[in-house]
Structure 1
């Protein structure tokens, strides 16, 4: 029976919905803003869906053991973290697991991937279940359920080297990209593991922005997501918007910059018609669930699918088979699936399938 290590970073992704663009170094502020842990839910989805038997090794309390106990599944505890978990706990746990397992599964983001990279020195392959705010490393399954398929089909020896990317999170919060290659780790060979994401892309963004702004209703509140294409829209409106964050706009005025879920909800009422503008982030077509975490499942449900505007360059769409969602709420994901119009230029649209 294959031996599998399982690490949950309990604070991964907590900064996302409260507009912090990450949790590294700002956990206290995230908690003040009402952030909730998202990683345990992703871990539970994965473990519930597993059909094949594995010999699991994990960490005590919130780094894994709690979820196994909740689901009445067996796992051997090899590491006991501190009361408030840190990057050092991830590193020490990874070192312990690498001594005994064939594969390490972790639930977190790029920061977690970097910590594991530092600890295991390429000794065992890894696979990430996406739960962070930043996921630019080429080690993540698209979704927790895709991770199930990858792990159940994994055969020892069928691995490849993939990039782990190191993001400067302080610069990231300021709207600046400072990204560098941390190094390479082994991952299973599988089509449902993301490749390294493209950071910036040109061509056609000004035309998209012109058409969107020209058709904006002055009585409507617009929740505009992060990304280089949506940033062009913010520039065309004439606001000092955030490159990576969520901005709320009405009548060409910035109502809230870098909004978290709580701030966005303040603008959702019967008096205000509301629309969401998003673009596929990274190289795999996610319009929700990657980088746009403040636009929560509840907000999407309140605004409605018919009031979602998707924009993308043609060059990006040409590389995508479909668009994807991973909101963390199954009913909302199902609501979003199907065909949707994507604005690709001035008076230009393309139909894409959301899966």
Structure 2
């Protein structure tokens, strides 16, 4: 029987849709919940574990009580043992670390954790390289190389492990950024350690590449293409996603940009800045819209990483044909043939966006690039 440890951070990612740039710290979590944030970590865990339900007889879970694991695992019908009980309703990082310690004491074969880089740091503090781990991405910050590319991809890796297929184990870096600087539009990533990860290259993400694009001429060409599109559609709302490539477009328009947020333009003028998911829905409802986004260098994510404001509801109303994906060819080449990744939190939406997508790589220069389907 495979002994699988599970740690769920139930508050992971709750600040994303509210443009809070993270969920680290009691104050941020309390603020997010007061603003009506939805806990989505359990849903993401369910997506990953659904794939191993047909072979659930092969696994026994070791978990924390309540939202940290027991509620979901019992609901899904897996066999389990509770190894930790949190003493407070709003769980904190020390609960993650205490659960990790309990999993070590129960000699589990692998630790599955659900959260973002903050959760990865907590797990690394206790487990380090003593037990293999695998992360289900559910946070606002996913820079570390210990996560699967999507919740469903986690299930694919677990399926291989439980069936006894040969899966390599490599080390993945644990990275995290300063949330206070993040909210000021500055990305300062720091290395915190390494953990062992079962590595199937199609399913495990790389460490995010830091820094801005350096090819000024190519970025200027991309910006010129997008600006011309705006000129041709003066009554269309342009929703500007996060990332340095989109930031360059805003610079060309001489507009203040939320580097790590979502802004809205009309006729090349800023009409809403750093909007939440709900604000975005309200402003764009019934309007002609286009979304300008880029991909995360080294990873290939275009949705679901740092732009949770782009909800499945918004994307459904928008339509795939109104997504303007921008990236330099060097950024695409850096993926080394790996497909782009969508992790919107909605299975049907992810399926609809899979397949070939047009990428603007210069002025009136576009290429077709595949978007993966992990569902």
* TM-score (normalised: structure 1): 0.96
Alpha-carbon distance, 1:283 to partner: 1.7
Which residue of the partner structure matches residue 149 of structure 1? Answer: 156
Write out per-residue CA displacement over residues 102-160 of structure 1, whole angstroms, 9 at most, x where no aligned residue. 11000111000001111223211110011111100000001122112212323699422
CA contact (8 A) 1:238 1:252 kept: no
Which residue of the partner structure matches residue 195 of structure 1? Answer: 206
- Equivalent of residue 176 in structure 2, options 151, 166, 180: 166
Which residue of the partner structure matches residue 67 of structure 1? Answer: 72
Counterpart mapping for 1:123-272 below 5 A = 123-154=130-161, 158-191=168-201, 192-200=203-211, 201-203=213-215, 204-216=218-230, 217-270=233-286, 272=287
Which residue of the partner structure matches residue 79 of structure 1? Answer: 84
Which residue of the partner structure matches residue 353 of structure 2? Answer: 336
Distance 1:173 1:131 in 2: 19
1:115 aligns to 2:122 (yes or no): yes
Which residue of the partner structure matches residue 315 of structure 2? Answer: 300
The worse-fitting range, judged by mean Cα deviation, of 331-340 and 86-95 is 331-340
CA contact (8 A) 2:146 2:197 kept: yes
CA contact (8 A) 2:326 2:361 kept: yes
- Equivalent of residue 293 in structure 2, options 269, 278, 281: 278
CA contact (8 A) 1:211 1:347 kept: yes
CA contact (8 A) 2:51 2:156 kept: no
Extract unaligned runs of 5+ from structure 2. none
Extract unaligned runs of 5+ from structure 1. none
Write out per-residue CA displacement over residues 182-227 of structure 1, whole angstroms, 9 at most, x where no aligned residue. 1111111321211211022322222211221122122111111101
Which residue of the partner structure matches residue 5 of structure 1? Answer: 5
Distance 1:2 1:73 in 2: 12
Q: Secondary structure at the match of 1:294?
A: coil
Q: Secondary structure at the match of 1:245?
A: coil
Structure 1 residues 158 and 303, CA gap change in structure 2 (3 angstroms): closer
Alpha-carbon distance, 1:30 to partner: 1.2
Distance 1:12 1:304 in 2: 28
Structure 1 residues 24 and 247, CA gap change in structure 2 (3 angstroms): same
Give 1 or 2: higher helix fraction: 2
Q: Secondary structure at the match of 1:287?
A: strand
Counterpart mapping for 1:317-332 below 5 A = 317-320=332-335, 321=337, 322-332=339-349
Distance 1:307 1:158 in 2: 40
* TM-score (normalised: structure 2): 0.91
Distance 1:78 1:119 in 2: 16
Distance 1:98 1:158 in 2: 21
Distance 1:205 1:128 in 2: 34
1:94 aligns to 2:113 (yes or no): no
Distance 1:71 1:326 in 2: 22
Distance 1:89 1:278 in 2: 36
Distance 1:87 1:159 in 2: 26
Q: Secondary structure at the match of 2:14?
A: coil
